[in-house]
Amino acid sequence: MTLDPSQLNQQRKDDHVNLALEQQKEKQHSSFDDIRFVHHSFSKMAFDQVDVQTVWAQHTHQMPFYINGMTGGSKFTKQFNEKLGQVAAQTGLAIATGSVSAALKDPSLNDSFQIMREVNPNGFVMANLGAHHSLENAKRAVDLLKADALQIHLNVPQEIVMPEGDRDFSNWAENIQAMVENLGVPVIVKEVGFGMSRETIELLISLGVANIDVSGRGGTNFVRIEDDRNNRLDFSALGEWGQTTAESLVEAHAVQDLIERNQVTLLASGGIRQPFDILKALSLGASAVGLSGRFLASVNDIGVDGTVEMVHNWRESLQLMMLMLEAKNIQSLQHKDLILSGNLLDWAQLRQIDADHFANRSQSH
Ligand code: FNR
């Protein structure tokens, strides 16, 4: 039986979820394991002094982590969006849909995305779209979800490995600039698990982007997902392509002045496994931390109630670790000394980024 283009697209969305769930079962070395905090024996604080709220995309969020863009566009994936939306509604986590591109072409798919808003009418919801889309499509994406913000994803390696992927990236920068200037809601530009270089971050800032999610390597891997689906060209050698999330945050540090001068908010995602990774990403400079694969597996394995409980536990764990570090809020966490080692340290040194700064920054504060 041959599938028409719409059926093929739905099949692709289902494949993404199933292959991402498979990847969650793997154990891999994490760049976050190359980061340690310096321990001190006093804390001089009490638990109720710890404040984890954070501001990004022009909104104050009570939780320093969020459910990052994943899915929608088929019956199967609608169930995931419903569950993820319920988790967001019950916990106050911000949440994003996957790319709504398919629904802009085929309105019969609208409900597979809109369910996330229906079950979460008052939450912070982000629509998601690729950078090849026009400003007009971006407005339609926001309307579809009554979205509070729009995520624009950058996914060149994924498109390259995908047999049906885009082969023309020449209009991305101008599309992004038009959206930032005219959309009317905050725009977050994100990677999809390949991380960012300081050059990419500089370019995004020059386009006026104020919210950047570096989304690095270490978790869901779209080169491998698309390569598993691609039976003509073999891209298995690109399985380790891209910067890890920690490397991307270190890259961002190299343009810290520019980030501060332009009041840019950094977000981090990619390979976040546990609250300790969130703590490290926040300390490396992120204002909030996104998780995709981990939440997908969680609603799949332990359902909505189990995931809600996990979120509450994670928040408490974060607060407790901040108490141990004597960090009363996220800004203060960003002045704690961090020791980088292994591949992460090699990366920083070869890119001439000052790793010593992280190890001694509390003194200058
Ligand atoms: C994604 N991701 C993604 N990102 C995006 O901007 N638009 C999209 O449509 C999708 N689709 C998608 C589907 C599935 C099933 C997964 C698991 C992920 C990428 C995601 O937002 C994130 O950048 C990466 O997954 C890395 O984070 P994790 O999964 O390692 O936490």
Residue 279 Cβ inside 6 Å of ligand 1? The answer reads no
Residue type present at position 327: A
Residue 77 Cβ inside 6 Å of ligand 1? The answer reads no
Residue 1 has pLDDT above 70, yes or no: no
Mutate to test the pocket of ligand 1, among 95, 128, 187, 220 (most ligand atoms within 8 A of CB): 220
The SS3 of residue 105 is helix
Residue 265 Cβ inside 6 Å of ligand 1? The answer reads no
Cα–Cα distance measured from residue 72 to residue 28, given in angstroms and rounded to the nearest whole number: 27
> pLDDT tens digits, residue range 237-267?
999 999 999 999 999 999 999 999 999 999 9
Ligand 1 centroid to 68 CA: how many Å? Answer: 7
Ligand 1 centroid to 362 CA: how many Å? Answer: 34
Q: Domain spanning 9-364 has what CATH number?
A: 3.20.20.70
- Give the pLDDT score at 186: 98
Task: Give percent of the chain with pLDDT exceeding 70.
Answer: 100
> pLDDT tens digits, residue range 2-32?
788 889 999 999 999 999 999 999 998 999 9
Ligand 1 centroid to 219 CA: how many Å? Answer: 9
- Give the pLDDT score at 229: 87
Instruction: Give me the mean pLDDT over the 112-117 stretch.
Output: 98
Residue 193 Cβ inside 6 Å of ligand 1? The answer reads yes
Instruction: Give me the mean pLDDT over the 218-237 stretch.
Output: 93
- Give the pLDDT score at 363: 87
The answer to pTM > 0.85 is yes
Cα–Cα distance measured from residue 34 to residue 317, given in angstroms and rounded to the nearest whole number: 21
CB of 21 within 8 A of CB of 300? Answer: yes
Distance between alpha carbon 257 and the CA centroid of its chain, in Å? 23
Task: Give percent of the chain with pLDDT exceeding 90.
Answer: 95
Residue type present at position 78: K
Domain ranges of the chain: 9-364
Residue 285 Cβ inside 6 Å of ligand 1? The answer reads no
End-to-end CA distance of the chain: 66
Residue 151 Cβ inside 6 Å of ligand 1? The answer reads yes
Residue 95's contacts (CB-CB under 8 Å, 6 or more residues apart) are: 66, 67, 84, 85, 87, 88, 116, 120, 123, 124, 125, 126
Instruction: Give me the mean pLDDT over the 101-109 stretch.
Output: 98
Ligand 1 centroid to 15 CA: how many Å? Answer: 13
- Mean pLDDT taken over the chain: 97
> pLDDT tens digits, residue range 165-206?
999 999 999 999 999 999 999 999 999 999 999 999 999 999
